[in-house]
Amino acid sequence: MVSIPKPRLPTREEIRKYWVNDGPKALIIILFVAANIALFLYKFIEYRYERSLVFDILGYGVPVARGSAMMLKFNSAMILIPVLRNFLSFLRGTFLNNYVPFDKNIIFHRYIAWVICLATFVHVMAHFRNFHVQSTTDLADLKLIGIQEVPTTWGLAFRTLAGWTGHVLCVAMVLMFTSAIESIRRPMFEIFWFTHHLFIVYFGLLAVHGLRGTLETSTTWMWIIGPCVLYILERIIRLARSKQTTMLIMAKQHPSRTIELRMKTERFKYKPGQYLFLNCPTIARNEWHPFTITSAPEEDFVSCHINVVGNWTGKLSTLLNPDKRLGVVQENLLNSPDGKPILRIDGPFGAASEEVFKYKTVMLIGAGIGVTPFASILKHIKFQLSKAYSTTGNTIEKVHFFWICRDRSSFEWFSGIIGALEMDNVNNFLEIHPYLTGALSAQEVRDVMYAGGDEEARDQITGFSAPTQFGRPKWTEIFADFSQRYAGRDVGVFFCGPKVLSKDLYKHCRKFTQTTSCRYHYNKENF
């Protein structure tokens, strides 16, 4: 006979392990859902039971429309918070960072948006029912609830402030939502970006939508004014920063379609792992693209490494390197040939990789250009090492750096920094694990086979003393090994690269946190 285990409460250790990767997000979602249910019920109950005269005359349409409107006010106030980049970067520096998963901001923004979508649907359906009921109710009954004439359905839908603004709001939302779904946003980012600015229409119309309400005075503006003011401040800060002069001190073309930019701008203070937005007015006046900062705060310039993948990055590469040369292609440039500033910078902004310094043991996993956040972090550690690392407050004891590249040339731009770190490897703090996932060309195979002399001690692909492994990392074996080495410890896992690999790593972190005494804290960045 199969025995069914008795249900039991989770132990403190089980809760602790669950909390490691899923706790903060789950808690916020529970609070968010509870707040929505509570707000809906609060208004629903008021119009169903306390103002029952309205209910007796117009039926369920009113309490449902009021309940969903309450949700819309709350969620419209909330939706701006996760996109206040400067505000969130500030909050990351406070105690809240221990409880709030700030790097999941866009996920929350999307969740809130979909709740808005659901509440809008319910609200619109309930109002269409109301319009029908109102247009077929006796005037004497309508007068009891303050309505002075029997309206038509058409009149209610299009000739009232709430009616026409509601319809325009729906059209704006359909455009915003359809252009924001991943299959449109990824390949047509600009279309998404410009359509998304219909949020200005959204907030403008939302503020006035209920102003001529017959049943109660509209309070929507009170809900949204705070976040809107914060958002306007955010845009003012971005604008002010973008006006600062930026000098392109060097542009260097690397072999792997990567262009390195070294810039100097006024008052630009950042932490390792942060990112910035770049704008090139010659290419597009209003287009800002995010790039991770690859220099360390100790350096006297700000650098980014840009993979040429599409329209904007392609145009930037052509502007800076029209002859497609390798090496340094521009120096000390302030303006483009058309006289406009060559580059404008907005930032810095906080990212998941900033959290690296919270852990003693970390796994940094960079795939392809996803290695950029770790460039700044590793360089920063190198600078700290050279000035008595242990006294600076940084506590990292062990860094496992997994670097996964498809071709040999992709190792080129960053290998100098890693090589230098390897030489300076105090207490063996850095272990490098290079992986080459693509095949070598015939020439590369010859180079590797016939290289000799002193070079033999070093890996022929990367130049590191750690040998390059061919193929993809075997994560199950790696995690099993680390779980023994770091038993009982908290290990920060930081990944930047493609989504599929991110999902795989996340699964491994969860599984090995649940099944071993090692606690893996997963953090990711997706470009």
Ligand X SMILES: Cc1cc2nc3c(=O)[nH]c(=O)nc-3n(C[C@H](O)[C@H](O)[C@H](O)COP(=O)(O)OP(=O)(O)OC[C@H]3O[C@@H](n4cnc5c(N)ncnc54)[C@H](O)[C@@H]3O)c2cc1C
Site for ligand HEM, rule CB under 6 A: 79-80, 83, 85, 106, 109-110, 113, 116, 173, 176-177, 180-181, 196, 199, 202
Among candidate residues 421, 427, 430, the one with its CA nearest the CA of residue 382:
421
Q: Is 275 among the residues that bind ligand X (CB under 6 A)?
A: yes
Min dist. Cβ of residue 507 to ligand HEM (A):
24
Q: What is the CA radius of gyration of the chain?
A: 28
Q: Which is nearer to ligand HEM, 310 or 438 (CB)?
A: 310
**CA angle centred on 387, ends 383 and 390, rounded to 5°:** 100
Number of residues that bind ligand X (CB under 6 A): 22
Q: Is 292 among the residues that bind ligand X (CB under 6 A)?
A: yes
Q: Cβ of 67: how many Cβ atoms within 10 Å?
A: 26
- x/- map, 302-341, ligand X, by CB under 6 A: --xxxx-xxxxxx---------------------------
* Chosen from ligand HEM, ligand X, none, partner binding at 275 (C-beta under 5 to 8 Å by type): ligand X
The answer to whether the beta carbons of residues 269 and 287 sit under 8 Å apart is no
Residues 336-365 that bind ligand X (CB under 6 A): 351
**Which amino acid belongs to residue 379?**
K
Q: Is 527 among the residues that bind ligand X (CB under 6 A)?
A: yes
* Chosen from ligand X, ligand HEM, none, partner binding at 326 (C-beta under 5 to 8 Å by type): none
Min dist. Cβ of residue 371 to ligand X (A):
9
* Chosen from ligand X, ligand HEM, none, partner binding at 378 (C-beta under 5 to 8 Å by type): none
3-state secondary structure of 290: strand
The answer to whether the beta carbons of residues 113 and 177 sit under 8 Å apart is yes
Residues 142-201 that bind ligand X (CB under 6 A): 186, 189
What is the spatial distance between Cα 16 and Cα 418, in angstroms, rounded to a whole number?
35
Q: What are the tokens at 220?
A: 């929507």
Report strand pairing: 469-470 vs 430-436. parallel
Min dist. Cβ of residue 42 to ligand HEM (A):
22
Q: Which is nearer to ligand X, 71 or 345 (CB)?
A: 345
* Chosen from ligand HEM, ligand X, none, partner binding at 177 (C-beta under 5 to 8 Å by type): ligand HEM
* Chosen from ligand HEM, ligand X, none, partner binding at 291 (C-beta under 5 to 8 Å by type): ligand X
Q: Is the peptide bond before 348 cis (omega within 30 degrees of 0)?
A: yes
The answer to whether the beta carbons of residues 457 and 465 sit under 8 Å apart is yes
* Chosen from ligand X, ligand HEM, none, partner binding at 110 (C-beta under 5 to 8 Å by type): ligand HEM
Q: What are the tokens at 132?
A: 């029908």
Q: Is 128 among the residues that bind ligand X (CB under 6 A)?
A: no
3-state secondary structure of 199: helix
Among candidate residues 344, 339, 308, 332, the one with its CA nearest the CA of residue 250:
332
Among candidate residues 412, 404, 429, the one with its CA nearest the CA of residue 495:
404
**CA angle centred on 322, ends 318 and 327, rounded to 5°:** 100
Min dist. Cβ of residue 33 to ligand HEM (A):
18
Min dist. Cβ of residue 175 to ligand HEM (A):
10
* Chosen from ligand HEM, ligand X, none, partner binding at 176 (C-beta under 5 to 8 Å by type): ligand HEM
* Chosen from ligand X, ligand HEM, none, partner binding at 47 (C-beta under 5 to 8 Å by type): none
Min dist. Cβ of residue 185 to ligand HEM (A):
6
The answer to whether the beta carbons of residues 345 and 268 sit under 8 Å apart is yes
What are all long-range contacts of 417-423, with beta carbons under 8 Å and residues at least 24 apart? Answer: 417/375, 417/378, 417/379, 417/382, 418/378, 418/462, 418/464, 419/463, 419/464, 420/382, 421/378, 421/381, 421/382, 422/464, 422/465, 422/466
Among candidate residues 47, 3, 97, 79, the one with its CA nearest the CA of residue 523:
97
Among 59, 213, 290, 498, binds ligand X (CB under 6 A): 290
Q: What are the C-alpha distances in Å from 459 to residues 435, 467, 468, 469? A: 12, 5, 7, 10
Min dist. Cβ of residue 100 to ligand X (A):
18
Q: Which is nearer to ligand HEM, 312 or 413 (CB)?
A: 312
* Chosen from ligand X, ligand HEM, none, partner binding at 65 (C-beta under 5 to 8 Å by type): none
What is the contact surface with ligand X in residues (CB under 6 A)?
186, 189, 275, 288-292, 304-307, 309-314, 351, 369, 372, 527
